[in-house]
Amino acid sequence: MDLTQTTAANFPVLRLATPEELDAVAIAEVSAGRSLRLEQDLLDRVSLRRREVLELLTDGDPVYGVNTGMGAASEVRLDVVAQSRHQNNLMLGRAVGSAPWLTDPETRAVLAVRLRTFLTGDAGVSEHLCVRLVELLAADMLPAIPRTRIGAAGEIIPLAHLGGALTGSGEFLVDGAAVDAVDVLSAAGMEPYSLETKEGVALIEGIPVTTALAILRANDARLLAAQVVALTAAEVCLVGASRDPFDPALARADVELGTVLGAIRQLAGDDPHPRTLQSPLSVRVLGAAVAQLLRSIDAVEAAVERALNGVTDSPAYLDGRFIGTAGFDGFDLAAALDGLRLSMIHVAETSAARVHRLLDEKFTGLPRQLSGQPGLHAGMVAVHKRTVGVVHELVAVARPSSLGAIETSFGQEDVQSFSSEAAEACHHAATGLRDVLACELLTVIQGVRLSERPLTAVDPRLRTLVEDASDLLPDGTDDRAFGRDITVLNDLLASGWGRWAATDGLSTPGR
């Protein structure tokens, strides 16, 4: 499924009868515009759980964040007056974020994951809050949620912004700008939502932001993996490289490697008389690099499943009692996202190296630097320099985001997972890899234009794919402002170019 080309009109309304139906694939569809509807039986189950929670709260026992303060102030008991203000008030002092904000698709995914966790009943929120989240999605009213500078255990900072938009103290995004929530709600004919008992603390618990972003980052990475496969197959055909490194026999006991090698071999075909006996290492290791990328994607998706199905609320209502948890700790997701980021950076390194190799006439048999007139025209040499700059930047910030605990809240929060930051760093790596691939695609197009045998031994679909990209650029091989070409190709890659160019193991999002 290519979610880059979808709109709300492409999807039927998803009618939810169980929380599990709002899975990773459905959340990705909601991010792309799909609408939700909560079936009455599901709402009745949420309502029943809500009544159980309210009944249990009448016994007067301390319940964290409900009739007590939060964090280091949890020993402070709140009187009835304070409790009546507490849930809405939780959205105020914790809303310390600012721009840059999550994008519209990212914010829609966050709302969907927040809804999913509420529908399980662990948080004990009312059906009214669940319905309000669905209404926001239907109206495309999206809270302004900060995407970075989040240094808390869990996600209290971004979630306080989400809750503030609901209650009227925060902001919504309108055409990319943050607008006062009261004005937006009024224009939509809505009143600010008044959070009821336990609903405020429920809103700021858990890891819905990182979970949502992890779903989208994994889908991004699957598309990038397919694009790397397509580009490598085109390069192998362009220069007449040996197919030996992509022989399926090399994938013994390695499912992911077999998937990648099979996809490349299917696209590149056979060449009994390769021009070169042994290609540079950046070509030969591509199969292993993309196989590791697939394993990293699988790790993120497995962490997402645990987050969607596990207990992330605190205190959670389970087995008729409230249980304090550490379910808001996102280290599982953060560590998986860090692994995905490193895998993407490694693929970017190999891509930049292949661009360099394509400038060498000894390897390609094409004009030096892929210049139509060496000396007068520089060809692709500066394009390669851009890839070097991107890779250097990615490597320079490659420290794991999931490490670096700093004590806060008077020691009450003495570790953090920085999971939202890990998701942001992963997004940065995906953007960088896409930029390198745009440069690589431009280099391939230049090589095809200079070649006397343009992709003759290749799957015709791949030849069409390269030709379609080439048609978007100015004619000829003379020097021009190639940065403009790279921008065009970046947009093309982001729109889904090459998604079909691999088997389902690479290209299926939200698997």
Can you tell me the distance from the alpha carbon of 306 to that of 33, in angstroms, rounded to the nearest whole number? 25
**Both structure tokens of 175:** 């055409």
Question: What are 93-124's pLDDT values in tens digits?
Answer: 999 999 999 999 999 999 999 999 999 999 99
Among left, alpha and beta (phi > 0; psi -120 to 50; other), residue 448 is alpha
What integer best gives the mean pLDDT of the chain? 92
Please compute the mean of the pLDDT values over residues 11-37 and round it to a whole number.
96
Specify whether the CB–CB gap between 122 and 50 falls below 8 A.
no
Query: How many Cβ atoms from other residues are within 10 Å of residue 37's Cβ?
Result: 11
In Å, how far are 48, 201, 268 from 265, measured between CA atoms? 56, 53, 5
Identify the residue with better confidence: 499 or 360: 360
| Domain ranges within the chain, ordered by starting residue | 3-205, 213-314+328-407+415-503
Question: What are 266-318's pLDDT values in tens digits?
Answer: 899 888 888 888 899 999 999 999 999 999 999 999 999 999 999 999 999 99
Query: How many Cβ atoms from other residues are within 10 Å of residue 144's Cβ?
Result: 26
Q: What is the pLDDT of residue 511?
A: 36
CATH class of this structure's domain 3-205: mainly alpha
Among left, alpha and beta (phi > 0; psi -120 to 50; other), residue 325 is beta
pTM of the model: 0.94
Whether the predicted pLDDT of 481 surpasses 60? yes
User: Is 357 in a helix, a strand, or coil?
Assistant: helix
List, as one string, the DSSP characters of 102-132.
PPHHHHHHHHHHHHHHHHTSSS---HHHHHH
Closest CA to 463 of 233, 226, 222: 233
Q: What are phi and psi of 484, to 5 degrees?
A: -65, -40
Q: What is the largest CA-CA distance in the chain?
A: 85
**Both structure tokens of 356:** 């360099």
Can you tell me the distance from the alpha carbon of 259 to that of 344, in angstroms, rounded to the nearest whole number? 18
**Percentage of the residues of the chain whose pLDDT score is greater than 90:** 78
Identify the residue with better confidence: 79 or 191: 191
Please compute the mean of the pLDDT values over residues 429-440 and round it to a whole number.
98
Do domains 3-205 and 213-314+328-407+415-503 share one topology? The answer is no
Report the CATH number of the 213-314+328-407+415-503 domain.
1.20.200.10
